[in-house]
């Protein structure tokens, strides 16, 4: 398992690294300097990123993570202290697993594995949601394009749909893209 530790305190990162080594995890890279971190993380391609909950640069880091899809990695948090309820809430609230108490070695491996598992489950969910959304948008565009064709060419719905399908096949494009082009063109041309 390849692990990246992002921490503004080199001393604390070293302690964490030692804990990971004791747990048999030796492929660890520490990031203290935040400059250029996105590119360096991307190059490293870690299985999991371990970051301090209270890291003062988290807003910047999250923005970098949000911008680069290739950077999408499970993130585990470590905190100085917490109660059980806090851990449960944390795990419910996000992709992050939650590491407490200076990384006790018998705890660390299952937590990192959990982080990766939860991340994968969430990212699958998100992909499905994105696909469902774009399918919905596509259907809407097709309906609008059909309505436009029916109105402007005075044809019925099956004929409008057939025209769309033919145009798509002739131009090697998806029917949703053709519909989208018609709707956009109509909006641009107005009543011309």
**Where would I find the beta strands (DSSP E) of 53-115?**
75-78, 97-99
Q: From the list 13, 25, 28, 77, which residue makes contact with another protein (rule: CB under 8 A)?
A: 77
Report residue 10 as tokens. 């080199």
Site residues for another protein, 10-29, by CB under 8 A, read none
Nearer to another protein, 172 or 190 (CB): 190
Q: Which of 43, 27, 25, 34 is nearest to 6 (CA)?
A: 34
159: contact with another protein by CB under 8 A = no
- Are 49 and 74 within 8 A, CB to CB? yes
Q: What are phi and psi of 23, to 5 degrees?
A: -85, 10
Take residue 177 and report the two structure tokens written for it. 């893209």
By CB under 8 A, is residue 102 in contact with another protein? no
Is residue 116 involved in binding another protein (CB under 8 A)? no
Nearest-approach distance from CB 185 to another protein, in angstroms:
16
- Edge-to-edge, what's the strand order for the sheet holding 75-78? 28-31, 3-6, 48-52, 75-78, 97-99
| String marking each residue 119-158 x if it binds another protein according to CB under 8 A | ---x----------x---x---------------------
Provide the binding-site residues for another protein, judged by CB under 8 A: 53-63, 66, 77, 82, 85-86, 89-90, 92-95, 98, 122, 133, 137
């Amino acid at each position: 398992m390849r692990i990246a530790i992002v921490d503004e305190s080199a001393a604390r990162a070293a302690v964490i690294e030692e804990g990971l080594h004791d747990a048999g995890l030796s492929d660890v890279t520490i990031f203290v300097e935040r400059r250029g971190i996105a590119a360096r993380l991307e190059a490293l391609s870690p299985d999991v990123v371990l970051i301090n909950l209270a890291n003062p640069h988290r807003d910047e880091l999250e923005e970098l993570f949000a911008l680069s899809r290739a950077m999408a990695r499970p993130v585990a948090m470590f905190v100085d202290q917490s109660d059980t309820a806090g851990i449960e809430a944390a795990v419910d609230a996000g992709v992050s697993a939650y590491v407490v108490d200076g990384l006790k070695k018998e705890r660390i491996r299952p937590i990192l594995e959990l982080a990766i598992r939860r991340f994968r489950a969430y990212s699958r969910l998100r992909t499905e949601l994105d696909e469902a959304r774009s399918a919905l948008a596509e259907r809407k565009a097709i309906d609008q394009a059909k309505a436009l064709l029916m109105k402007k060419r005075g044809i019925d719905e099956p004929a409008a749909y057939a025209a769309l399908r033919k145009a798509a096949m002739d131009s090697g494009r998806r029917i949703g893209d053709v519909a989208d082009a018609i709707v956009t063109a109509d909006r641009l041309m107005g009543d011309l």
